[in-house]
Chains A and B, each alone.
Chain A
Amino acid sequence: MSLRMPQPDRAMIARRAEIAAALEKIAGPEAVIADEDGRRTFETDGLNAYRAMPLVVVLPKTTDEVAAILRYCHGEKIKVVARGAGTSLCGGALPLEDAVVVGVSRMKKVLEIDYDNRFARVETGITNLAISGAVGAEGFFYAPDPSSQLACTLAGNLAMNSGGAHCLKYGVTTNNVLGMKVVLMDGEILDIGGPHLDAEGYDLLGLMVGSEGQFGIITEATVRIIKAAEGARPMMIGFPSSEAAGQCVSAIIASGIIPVAIEFMDKPAIEVCESFAKAGYPMDADALLIVEVEGSEDEINDLLGRIARIAEPFAPTTVQISSGPAQSAKIWKGRKSAFGAIGRISDYYCMDGTIPLSQLPLVLRRISEICASHKLKVANIFHAGDGNLHPLILYEANDPEQAERAELAGAEILTLCVEVGGCLTGEHGVGIEKRDLMTTQFSRTDLMLQMRIKTVFDPDWLLNPGKVFPLDMLTMSGLPNAA
């Protein structure tokens, strides 16, 4: 694969033992991983075509330890890569050979749950699903639901502003965070917001969420918890073409219904997911919508009935309302395990652009053309309600030439998303993967401004280097420590 990373500092790597010893003093010997086998566990993330052995890994247990670690690294000018569960699909958590990895995975306590005021305060090493688990008994949940929610941490969700299938109605991470504790690179601890709905002053919360580990390490967060609806049920609508499916989505939204989720799968995706999950997906359809609504039994029936009527003019090949919890679980299992299912038949490269819905037919056609021109197959999964597209480009990872072609096709697809009025990434983040494409979406002025903001939080540019901002921009920026 072809993305360049900054040259590691050999002198820093030579100091490994000394740095490990210093970190052991701060966080205890059990928290520090410096041996080769141990470090290898952390050498990659969800973008596993890229690997780098970290300098040292440290897994602190408290905010104060994180602060002490960063203060030490700041003093010694050691670079730091923050890590949650390492599920990033864009290389956001990719280690650097001359950087300490600070993982928050041991900080996973629920600190406070308050149902009257509808918030939970947690340490950010907690997994996404565990937050909903902690409040589920009272019928509450934490809304953002990325597909990796069983494994991914809130820390990573905050860093990437993660979304999920249900954010059409409930919003993404940034819409569900009320407060946080952030350790800045100099070891200072910044408290932002709290259980109240609007944080004061400039919107530092808004800047922190989605900052991809560039601004600080978030160790605690206060998140909104929501009372779950009385019930929820999906329906499947199969269509003879992707165009018809796309038009149906527009018609549903135009009718004034906002379902909790509208998921789209094209034929290759339907086939793979069906053979894996036996979800009962219609094999004769060229495109499938999974539409989920919420409410009481009567409300659900009413809404799904309305949606079925809206779908009629688009000549659906299948209209099937889930018969009950067992079938609903199956339908969602197929969708949520799509990446895993496709992973069983082929290596794949998962893209994450967002497009205006009206551009769907054009974009899908162009995606198949782009992939065909690179002699690659593609399956499309799409959060249709909000335009977030996940083309999965299938390739053989052991064949460097194919891997190269997959990357090229991916870059062309993302550029296409920007050209039709969309963006490079809807929920996965920029990381290293889309770093060099940032200039297709942003002007130099836009990027300079973002880089100056990074400098406010991390003047020495020690946090998560080599990510988000194009490397050539760093040298040209004139910012003293960026290059």
Chain B
Amino acid sequence: MRAATSWELQSMLAPFVDRQQPVEIRGSGSKSRVGRPMQTAASISTASMHGIWMYEPTELVMSAHAGTPLAQIEAELAGNNQMLAFEPSDIGPASGGRRGTQTIGSVFATNSSGSRRITVGAARDHLLGIEAVSGRAELFRSGGRVMKNVTGVDLCRGLSGSWGTLAVLTEVTFKVLPAPEKTATLVYLGLPDDIGVELMCAAMRLPFEVSGTAHLPQSVAGRLETAVLAEQGQSITALRLENFEKSVDYRSNAMRAALKVYGNPIIIGSTTSLEFWNELRRLSILPYTADTCLWRISTTPMKGPKVVAAIRRHMPTEVYYDWSGGLIWVEVAASADAGASDIRRAVAVHGGHATLIRADSAVRSSVEVFQPQSPLAERIVRGLKSTFDPLRLLNPGRMYANL
């Protein structure tokens, strides 16, 4: 079923509330293979609720219906030299879904942030206001259209990353930022993982607002479509600068001097930089295959290589590091538990959490896809679920088996 308005969505949901039947909530469905498989009576999509209904470039704010394609939003912003600064990534294709179809609602519902997260914050940090329908089929609002707002409990953030398990977003209002005049990327070649991560953290300690840091070991770098980088045949450590042209030129020279112990980088300009960072956004270097599983690990940046080394003691992996080492995408061979116990143990030792992004549905129903929580956190999470969705109708079990 596709609802075209929030009112229609409420009335579509109401009979399921009366009959206590669970419902799958989706946008375009590009991420429907992420999360635990669900048993639902029907599926309600927000994809027909589309359209940008407010855009004030001089106030850096836009409002759109939740089903508006992200691509449409980004095109509209680009027309005004603006952008979604948190650079939402597209995990659809990496998990076997369709590429480039995701909706703006799903971007916030999954708190999906790309490389620039390290400097400008996550998706949730850009969400200013929401309208949503709860599992009680009640329409509610939180936040607004202004940048600074501390009125009442912050449900915008509360719903970010809840994967449609608490409420259905019907409208989102978010902050946008000017697009940079120039982008340059300093690419260091041939560094092992630990030195690459050290370099990225060193770059973040410089006063130059590095807006993206990624390390691709040799084998993963070889998968790049950006030929000039793939052809190097070596690992790649990339540091991105974005600003007015004069600043980028000055800063890339200053950075190169400050980081000279790590070697002499090649510097790629705006066009190639955009191509490269967009590849990372699409996760096209980690393409879907049935014989691999993909994990997303969030940890303290400098501990990234240690987590990977600990995992590699148990299984071969292909990895790539973003967020100066704090975000690791780990590809492992498909297996009955997708390596969950060894991976979670490695993460437990060094801190952080792991989410299974790609695995077949049998695996996703047998292992914890999202990081298991402490009993106390689980108590709160259970309480929140029963607040928004007391009958457990919305995406039941997608994040946690019993919720």
Contact = CB atoms under 8 A, between A and B. Distances in A.
The reply to whether chain A is a binding partner of chain B is yes
Interface of A: 114-118, 139, 160-161, 163, 167-168, 171-172, 174-175, 184, 188-192, 194-207, 209-211, 227-230, 250-251, 253-254, 256-258, 295-296, 298-299, 302-303, 354-358, 383, 385-388, 421-430, 434, 438, 441-443, 445-447, 449-450, 452-457, 468
B146 A449 contact: no
Residue among A160, A194, A201 with max Cβ neighbours from chain B (10 Å): A201
Contact of A387 (B59, B142, B207, B380): B59
B204 A118 contact: yes
A399 to B, nearest CB: 30
A356 B98 CA distance: 37
B124 interface: yes
Contact of A445 (B61, B138, B376, B399): B138
B158 A422 contact: no
Contacts of B323: 197
Contact of B59 (A167, A184, A357, A423): A357
A427 to B, nearest CB: 6
Given A200-B370, A202-B381, A203-B111, A195 B201 contact: no
A354 B387 contact: no
Given A422-B144, A452-B387, A116 B205 contact: yes
Contact of B326 (A192, A197, A456): A197
A117 B303 CA distance: 9
Residue among B150, B177, B377, B388 with max Cβ neighbours from chain A (10 Å): B150
Contacts of A163: 148, 150
Contacts of A445: 138-140
A357 B145 CA distance: 11
A116 B201 contact: yes
B327 interface: yes
Interface string B202-232: 1011110100000000000000000000000
Contacts of A256: 81, 178-179, 181
Contacts of A228: 207
B148 A354 contact: yes
A194 B326 CA distance: 12
Contact of B298 (A168, A198, A424): A198
Interface stretch (B16-24, B243-251, B310-318): B243-251
B150 to A, nearest CB: 5
Given A196-B299, A457-B380, A203 B246 contact: no
B106 to A, nearest CB: 16
Given A197-B298, A210-B153, A430-B151, A358 B178 contact: no
Interface string B362-403: 000000001101101100110110011000000000010000
A201 B373 contact: yes
A114 B326 CA distance: 14
Contacts of A189: 376
B58 A227 contact: no
Interface string B75-116: 000000100000000000000000000000000000101000
Contact of B157 (A115, A207, A227, A383): A207
Contacts of A387: 59, 146-148
A205 B156 CA distance: 12
Given A206-B157, A258-B178, A299-B244, 20 more contacts: A116-B198, A116-B201, A172-B150, A175-B121, A190-B377, A194-B352, A195-B351, A202-B161, A202-B162, A203-B111, A207-B384, A227-B206, A256-B179, A299-B247, A302-B247, A356-B145, A423-B144, A424-B151, A427-B150, A446-B140
A421 B56 CA distance: 13
Interface of B: 56-61, 81, 111, 113, 117-118, 121-122, 124-125, 134, 138-142, 144-162, 166, 177-179, 181, 198, 201-202, 204-207, 209, 244, 246-247, 250, 254, 298-302, 323, 326-327, 351-353, 355, 370-371, 373-374, 376-377, 380-381, 383-384, 387-388, 399
Contacts of B158: 202-203, 206-207, 453
A356 B117 contact: no
A378 to B, nearest CB: 20
B246 A299 contact: yes
Contacts of B145: 356, 421-422
Given A356-B146, A445-B140, A450-B155, A456 B380 contact: yes
A-B CB proximity, top 10 nearest: A206-B157, A456-B383, A256-B178, A386-B147, A426-B148, A200-B353, A250-B58, A450-B153, A354-B146, A200-B371
Contact of A206 (B81, B154, B300): B154
B177 A258 contact: yes
Nearest to A417: B146
A114 B325 CA distance: 15
Given A202-B381, A387-B59, A299 B153 contact: no
27 contacts: A116-B201, A117-B326, A197-B326, A197-B327, A198-B298, A200-B298, A200-B370, A203-B158, A203-B162, A204-B377, A206-B157, A209-B154, A210-B150, A227-B204, A227-B206, A253-B58, A356-B146, A426-B148, A442-B141, A443-B140, A446-B140, A446-B152, A449-B138, A450-B152, A450-B153, A453-B155, A456-B384
Contacts of A428: 150
Residue among B59, B181, B298 with max Cβ neighbours from chain A (10 Å): B59
Given A196-B353, A202-B384, A446 B141 contact: yes
Residue among B157, B298, B371 with max Cβ neighbours from chain A (10 Å): B157
Contacts of A201: 161, 370-371, 373, 377, 381, 399
Contacts of A447: 152
A429 B388 CA distance: 24
Contacts of A422: 144-146
Nearest to B134: A449
B60 A117 contact: no
Contacts of A303: 244
Contacts of A230: 207
A321 B394 CA distance: 56
A430 B150 CA distance: 8
A188 B379 CA distance: 11
A209 B160 CA distance: 14
B380 A204 contact: yes
Contact of B380 (A190, A429, A449): A190
Contacts of A421: 144-146
B272 to A, nearest CB: 22
A434 B244 CA distance: 42
A258 B380 CA distance: 38
A254 B58 contact: yes
Contacts of B399: 201
Residue among A192, A206, A428, A441 with max Cβ neighbours from chain B (10 Å): A206
Contacts of A425: 149-151
A441 B152 contact: yes
Contacts of B209: 229
A455 B153 CA distance: 12
A200 B399 CA distance: 11
A168 B178 CA distance: 13
Residue among B117, B148, B247, B387 with max Cβ neighbours from chain A (10 Å): B148
A116 B197 CA distance: 10
A171 B125 contact: yes
A51 to B, nearest CB: 24
B301 to A, nearest CB: 5
Contacts of B121: 171, 175
Contacts of A426: 146, 148-150
Contacts of B298: 196-198, 200
Nearest to B141: A446
A466 to B, nearest CB: 16
Contacts of B301: 116-118
Given A161-B150, A302-B246, A356-B56, A203 B157 contact: yes
A453 B113 CA distance: 26
Contact of A117 (B146, B201, B376): B201
A427 B151 CA distance: 9
A446 B351 contact: no
